[in-house]
Amino acid sequence: MAQLQRIAISPEQFQAGEIVLTSEQLHYLVRVLRSRDGDKFIAMDGMGKWWLAQLRKEQAQILQQLTVETELPVAVTLILALPKGNGFDDVVRVCTELGVATILPVISDRTLLNPSQQKLERWQRIAQEAAEQCERAYVPAILEPVAFCTALPLVEGQQKYICEGRGNYPHLLNYLRQTPITNDKGQMTITIAIGPEGGWTETEIEQAISSKYQPVSLGKRILRAISAPIVALSIVAGELESRNELRE
Ligand code: SAM
């Protein structure tokens, strides 16, 4: 399937077994990719479903639904204090490649940066392009930035962790090793919060603990704010995907 182009389609574009392509999508398929009538492509709804579609007279006909196995066995939400500069672009791209389901940017006590609407749209575009490129079924949701204390109760994950480089907390991996992939409520969800360059304040750590977040370490070294989410997600993906493989 790797040779077929992937196009993200919104739900209202599906009509009676056909996809009503936008003029931009048509331009991309016909002018940029030089696709012709009868050529196939993959339509992704960004919510886990893929279809094999065929270009037919400026629209697309759905041929069949496809099975995808490129998602993590649990839905992971990252709560990320916004770092300075453009580092967040790379975080969004790499975390999408690693399988994140949702990124919730937060303004913490030590980050005062309030990003513009254009920045949010840019991150959503980066997530969409990265999801297409790495053949994911889901485009991760990049939510509107909120204050850290607002974010804590927003997420109802079953496993919630706050990463803290100091304080000798147990390693994230130790908790993950005890985490089942499903429970009686269905698929597990995992939430991981990562602080800004200046770190979390004591109050923020206390607030997180009272919202049932477990403080965890990602190892003995202090990672940059833009490296820590990538390390955390690599640990989650490595542990859960390798475990899944042993069961198959
Ligand atoms: N200025 C902080 C200090 O000196 O402790 C360091 C903050 S670090 C650059 C940014 C964020 O990455 C931290 O708030 C934490 O969430 C995460 N982080 C970095 N290294 C970590 C580690 N070894 N274990 C857990 N979290 C870590």
pLDDT of the residue at 112: 65
User: What is the rounded CA–CA span in Å between residue 155 and residue 160?
Assistant: 9
Q: In the 3-class helix/strand/coil scheme, how is 182-195 assigned residue by residue?
A: EECCEECEEEEEEC
Average pLDDT over residues 85-110: 93
Report percent pLDDT > 90 for the chain: 56
Report percent pLDDT > 70 for the chain: 92
Please choose from 222, 230, 235, 236 the residue to mutate so as to test ligand 1's pocket, defined by most ligand atoms within 8 A of CB. 222
Chain-centre distance for alpha carbon 50: 17
User: What is the rounded CA–CA span in Å between residue 235 and residue 248?
Assistant: 20
pLDDT beyond 70 at 187 = no
Strands 102-107 and 146-147: parallel
Output the ligand 1 site: residues, CB below 6 A.
163-166, 194-195, 197-200, 217-219, 221-225, 228
Q: ∠ CA 5-120-191 to the nearest 5 degrees?
A: 85
Q: For residue 183, what pLDDT band results from cuts at 50, 70 and 90?
A: low
Q: Which two tokens stand for residue 232?
A: 């955390």
Average pLDDT over residues 101-127: 89
* pLDDT one-digit tens code per residue, 124-156: 999 999 998 998 878 898 999 999 999 998 887
pLDDT beyond 60 at 172 = yes
pLDDT beyond 50 at 2 = no
Say how many Å lie between the CA of residue 211 and the centre of ligand 1.
Answer: 20
Whole-number Cα distances in Å, 154 to 28, 82, 107, 241 = 38, 17, 14, 27
Strands 6-8 and 182-183: unpaired
Average pLDDT over residues 32-53: 84
Mean pLDDT of the chain: 88
